[in-house]
Amino acid sequence: MKPNKMLTISLRKFRKLKRAPILFFRDYLLKRHPLVLNHNNIINATEGIIVSALQNSIASFKPAFKIDVVYTWVDANDSAWLQKKRLHSNADISYALYATEESRFSNHNELYYSLLSIEKNISWVNRIFIVTDNQKPLIPDSLKDRVVLVDHSEIIPQQYLPTFNSHVVEAYLHKIKGLSEHFIYFNDDFFVAQKNNPEHFFKSNGIASLFVSNKSTSYSPGEERTTATLSACQNCNDIFESNFAVRFDNTLTHTYVPLIKSVFEESASMFQHEIAAFSKNKFRAKNDLNVATFLVPYHQYILGKSAPNLDICFYFNIRSPASGSFYRALINGKKDNNLPHSFCANDFSSNEFNHDGYSERLNEFLSSFFIS
């Protein structure tokens, strides 16, 4: 963390301590020991009961069709990629908040363990596509025959390459050659925490699950900490309002997303000008759309091809002091058969916390959870 950034944070905390000491200590403890570990307000230690009840209620709706998985992945430790990123970074351009942050591109070997989570908990998936920028990830031997690497150049128009904007990459997933009609989109920091059946993602009639959270897309105008993701949600809502006279206030749960290729193609055609307008952004910007994680899922809902469903997902920042609470909850939950559906070990901001050793602790936890 930069010294001036650390000083600013320290002064802000000191002023809060002086102004409202009770609130300061309350927030201090909650950040390290959160009472709720998900974005669905599910009370801790009840996850296993709810997941079991949900699984039993939909067991007879198992789909017979194939379901693929798609990842987007980047290795920021690749010197050639880093050189290319520096070449295309422009200090004079106003990017979205955190758009060029180191944490947005850091590789902590999450993909390897995420793939292991698929092998262990949703082994029924068909093929696994990994979209990369001419890079080769480490893949578990047991999955190598099912993994297909897809280069950016195979799906993204040449005029937008290279790109370091995940929103741009996600906007062209429907162009993957051989992709099944039904697929699940993963980020590399998404993990399947326990056994999940196909009907959790798609019902037998083809309806996709819409995993909504309790987090709102609304924000105050001019809010300093408006993220690129939130801006992209609002931009998508503007499109929905113009075309369908509807807006959606709930973001999706920060986990995997069930998608229907034909609806993705329809969205890409219907909103091609809006997608082209932001595809030139080398890094995240304020006019982005989150096509795969908001536009298409809610377009599916508008068309009657998806329905709200619950995916209990533990979401945390691996650099935060609270990460230890999540690790303990997951390890204990594995022992007690009380796990969420999924979890996201997010690397959110390298400026937010000075928390050395976080990458090592993450790998120690993932190894213990998926291998030990």
Domains observed in the chain: 62-314 (3.90.550)
Q: Which two tokens stand for residue 188?
A: 């590399």
Per DSSP, the residues of 98-122 read: TTT-GGGT---SHHHHHHHHHHHH-
Q: Which residues contact 276 (CB under 8 A, 6 or more apart)?
A: none
**Interhelix angle for 3-19 vs 21-32, to 10°?**
130
Q: Which two tokens stand for residue 348?
A: 């959110």
Pairwise CA distance, residues 228 & 236, whole Å: 12
pLDDT score of 58: 97
- Tell me the CA distances in angstroms from 241 to 154, 248, 338, one per residue in order: 33, 9, 40
Please, are residues 75 and 108 in contact by the beta-carbon 8 Å criterion?
Answer: no
Pairwise CA distance, residues 115 & 188, whole Å: 9
Please, are residues 210 and 355 in contact by the beta-carbon 8 Å criterion?
Answer: no
Q: Could you list the mean pLDDT of each consecutive 10-residue stretch along the chain, which spans 372 residues?
A: 48 62 57 73 88 96 99 94 90 52 67 98 99 97 98 99 97 99 98 98 99 86 68 97 98 98 99 98 95 99 99 94 93 96 87 74 97 88
Q: Annotate 173-203 with b (16+ C-beta within 10 A) or e (fewer).
A: bbbbeebbbbbbbbbbbbbbbbebebbbbbb
pLDDT score of 202: 99
